[in-house]
Every structure is written in structure tokens, then in C-alpha cells.
């Protein structure tokens, strides 16, 4: 099956990668130093893992305190490098030395505790040391390494652009309607009957890219419906299901000019999603996701969910399924509210070892007795 929206998203993000490679190729030595945020993320994970370690053995407390102190020292060292990037090549060596001390302390803790929690600490300490050593190597690269990186970046730029522009979207259009079919059934050699006919849909990136490269006529853009819903005293475009995915997936790489109907819509629907979450007394962020129902193979079922009034689809108010990834999408417009909502999701168990789970189902018919929600323990 060839999905119109997935193909367009792939093409759009390939173009974004190509643009990044072109920018980095202009000053590769700067990018060889790398981004130190990854080190800080690893330090945060180590701190959280240390907090998870049971505090039931007195002999471990000095080791725990020393490790906590070294982690604080690592944070300060990274902040110093970020404040004085011209000294990065020298100070990254200090990071590697400090990371080595952290690894040794983590090993000593694991030797004493021998628990799953201490094993996690050892694992992340080893990753931290490897990352710091990689930064040392990158910071001391010679001119040959810089030119080699430039060549790789330019090659990758050409490859990603070629992959994107070799795609042909013309066969996905239904000529009589000038609209994109949702996809092509390869085995049946036919297009799906259903089409994307709204501007507020996840397929608008596909539409824009296909028009830009000449696969679709400009008329296609004006065939996309623009029904309006009032939010407060302003108007926003309606989508099919009122989901975050439909509205906020395209702007990840598709510019929405300030003051345009698309930009206004993105901000307003986030506002409405937040309001709806407060009305229901649940975290906000409704989008297509898995929910608490399984088939005979115990696989979670998946469908689109949205906020009533934002979508044309009937029955949107019958389900309340909150998808954490919807909050991540909203962070590009309202980072403060997104961070607060992610904290609330974490408090109710939506954060697992590998990140946030697919969804939290608050629909009464699918929630066990004695609770008001159930976490859909499936990772995207």
C-alpha cells in the first residue's frame, strides 16, 4: 500500500535533512564539536536512575553522594563549555576525565547493590563516558577530517534531495476531483476511493510538495476545503477528526507565515485542546492513537480521536484518549503548556523506560474498576 500522506511526509523531511546538510557543510568544523545537550540528557537520566536506587544500605550512601556530586560537576562543566565554545577543544578533555570517574563510581555502586536499578546506572555511565570521549575526538579533528565531513554532508544532501524529487505523486491524484487519494492499493492496481479534501489535514505537506515539483496542478490547492469553526472570537480551520496530528504534523517542516489562517489555526486548536482537557479534568492532547482494546493476538487497536467541534467526524465526544506525542507536536507553538502537560502525564504513569507510552485511555467503558484511566503500554 502506498500512502499519500506518508510519502509526502517522507519527501518533506528528506528536503529538511538536505537543507540541514547544506548548512552544516558551510562550517563543518563547528558541527564537529557536536551538541553538548546529549551529555546533559544522559546526566539527567543518571540522576533519575540514582534516585530510583533503594536507599536501604548505609554503606552505599557515601558512594551515592559522590556520584551525585560528580553529576553536578558534569553539568557545571558543560555549562562552562557552552558559555565559552572557543575553549571547547581543551575542556572536553576534562569532561572525559570526569565521565571516567562517574563510570568507576557507578561500577562500585553496582558491585555493592547488584540490582536492576544499579545495572541501569552502570549502563548509562558507560554511555556517558563513550559520548564524552567522542566529543574529545571530534574537538581535535584535523583539516582532513573537516574536509571529509564536508564531503559526506554534501553527498548526503544530494542523496536526500534525489530521493525526495524522484518521487512521483501524480498517479495519486483523482483527475476528476483534482484531489489526492489517501493511497494506492498495489495488489489491486487501484487508488482508494477516499480522498484528502480538507486543507486542515496531515496531507497538506504532500499537496504543497507535489505542487511545487509539478506533479499536481496548482488548482489542487484551491480544491481543498476550508470550513471554519469559531474559537473564542476567532476562526480556525476544521479538520476531519479534530486531532493534533492533522493540524500539527505538517508545520514541523512546513512554514506557516505569522497571521496566516494556518498559523492562526494551529495556535487556536492547541488552545481549544487545552480547554477541553480542563473541562474533562484530564491532561490535554487528543490525536489518533492506540486505545485500551485488543484483538485476539492481544494487539492494541488504533484509530483517530479528536476534540468535538474541531472535527467533522461524528461521535468524537464518545472517547477520551490522550496521546503524549500530541503534546510534543504542540510544543513547537506553546512549549510552556507542553512541558506542564508532560509532567502531568508522567505523574499518572504515562512515561515508561523508553519514553512516553502511546496513550492514556480515560474512556469509562474501557477503564478497569477503581480507576479513571489506563495507560496503553505500547510505544510508538
Q: What is the CATH number of the domain that holds 66?
A: 1.20.120
Are residues 234 and 363 both part of a single domain? yes
CATH of the domain at 304: 1.50.10.140
**What pLDDT, on a 0 to 100 scale, did the predictor assign at position 137?**
77
For the question of whether the overall pTM of this predicted structure is more than 0.95, the answer is no
Of 301, 332, 325, nearest in space to 380 by CA: 325
Predicted confidence (pLDDT) per residue in 352-373, tens digit: 989 999 999 999 999 999 999 9
Are residues 217 and 234 both part of a single domain? no
Are residues 232 and 101 both part of a single domain? no
Domain extent for 60 = 33-143
Q: Is 241 helix (H, G, I), strand (E, B) or coil?
A: coil
**What pLDDT, on a 0 to 100 scale, did the predictor assign at position 80?**
86
**What pLDDT, on a 0 to 100 scale, did the predictor assign at position 92?**
82
Give the integer Cα–Cα distance in Å for 380 and 374. Answer: 17
* Distance, first Cα to last Cα, the chain: 20
Paired strand residues for 180: 173, 196
Determine, yes or no, domain membership for 257: yes
Predicted confidence (pLDDT) per residue in 191-208, tens digit: 999 999 999 999 999 999
DSSP state of 208: H
Are residues 87 and 218 both part of a single domain? no
Of 315, 310, 324, 326, nearest in space to 363 by CA: 315
Among 208, 225, 242, the domain boundary falls at 225
Is residue 124 left, alpha or beta, with left meaning phi > 0 and alpha meaning psi from -120 to 50? alpha
Are residues 186 and 273 both part of a single domain? no
DSSP state of 110: H
- Per the structure, the count of domains in the chain is 3
Are residues 377 and 304 both part of a single domain? yes
Are residues 122 and 211 both part of a single domain? no
**What pLDDT, on a 0 to 100 scale, did the predictor assign at position 37?**
85
**What pLDDT, on a 0 to 100 scale, did the predictor assign at position 130?**
92
Are residues 257 and 216 both part of a single domain? no
Order across the sheet with 321-322: list the strands: 321-322, 359-361, 374-376
Q: Helix axis angle, 116-139 relative to 88-113, nearest 10°?
A: 160
Q: Using 70 as the pLDDT threshold, list the residues of the chain that sit under it.
A: 29-34, 85-89, 140-142
Predicted confidence (pLDDT) per residue in 10-57, tens digit: 999 999 999 999 998 987 766 666 678 888 999 999 999 998 888 777
Determine, yes or no, domain membership for 328: yes
Amino acid at each position: 500500500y502506498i500512502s499519500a500522506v506518508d510519502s509526502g511526509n517522507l519527501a518533506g523531511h528528506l528536503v529538511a535533512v538536505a537543507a540541514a546538510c547544506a548548512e552544516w557543510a558551510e562550517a563543518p568544523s563547528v558541527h564537529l564539536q557536536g551538541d553538548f545537550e546529549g551529555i546533559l540528557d544522559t546526566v539527567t537520566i543518571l540522576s533519575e536512575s540514582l534516585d530510583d536506587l533503594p536507599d536501604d544500605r548505609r554503606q552505599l550512601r557515601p558512594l551515592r553522594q559522590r556520584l551525585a556530586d560528580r553529576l553536578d560537576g558534569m553539568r557545571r562543566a558543560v555549562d562552562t563549555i557552552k558559555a565559552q565554545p572557543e575553549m571547547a577543544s581543551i575542556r572536553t578533555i576534562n569532561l572525559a576525565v570526569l565521565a571516567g570517574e562517574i563510570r568507576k563510581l557507578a561500577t562500585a555502586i553496582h558491585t555493592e547493590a547488584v540490582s536492576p536499578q544499579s545495572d541501569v546506572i552502570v549502563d548509562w555511565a558507560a554511555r556517558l563516558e563513550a559520548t564524552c570521549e567522542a566529543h574529545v575526538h571530534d574537538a581535535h579533528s584535523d583539516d582532513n577530517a573537516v574536509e571529509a565531513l564536508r564531503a559526506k554532508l554534501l553527498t548526503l544532501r544530494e542523496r536526500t534531495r534525489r530521493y525526495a524529487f524522484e518521487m512521483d505523486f501524480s498517479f495519486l491524484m483523482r483527475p476528476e476531483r483534482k484531489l489526492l487519494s489517501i493511497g494506492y492499493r498495489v495488489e489491486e492496481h487501484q487508488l482508494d476511493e477516499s480522498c484528502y479534501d480538507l486543507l486542515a489535514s496531515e496531507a497538506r505537506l504532500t499537496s504543497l510538495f507535489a505542487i511545487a515539483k509539478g506533479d499536481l496542478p496548482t488548482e489542487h490547492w484551491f480544491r481543498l476545503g476550508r470550513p471554519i469553526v469559531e474559537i473564542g472570537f476567532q476562526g480556525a480551520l476544521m479538520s476531519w477528526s479534530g486531532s493534533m496530528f492533522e493540524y500539527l504534523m505538517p508545520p514541523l517542516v512546513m512554514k506557516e507565515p505569522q497571521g496566516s489562517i494556518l498559523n492562526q489555526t494551529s495556535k487556536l486548536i492547541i488552545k481549544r485542546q487545552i480547554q477541553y482537557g480542563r473541562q474533562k479534568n484530564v491532561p490535554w492532547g487528543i490525536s489518533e492513537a492506540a486505545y485500551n482494546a485488543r484483538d485476539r493476538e492481544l494487539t492494541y487497536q488504533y484509530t483517530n480521536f479528536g476534540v468535538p467541534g474541531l472535527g467533522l467526524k461524528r461521535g468524537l465526544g464518545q472517547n477520551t484518549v490522550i496521546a503524549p506525542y500530541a503534546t510534543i507536536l504542540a510544543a513547537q507553538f506553546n512549549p510552556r503548556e507542553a512541558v506542564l502537560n508532560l509532567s502531568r502525564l508522567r505523574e499518572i504513569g504515562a512515561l515508561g523506560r523508553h519514553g512516553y507510552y502511546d496513550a492514556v485511555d480515560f474512556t469509562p467503558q474501557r477503564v478497569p474498576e477503581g480507576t479513571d484511566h489506563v495507560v496503553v503500554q505500547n510505544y510508538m
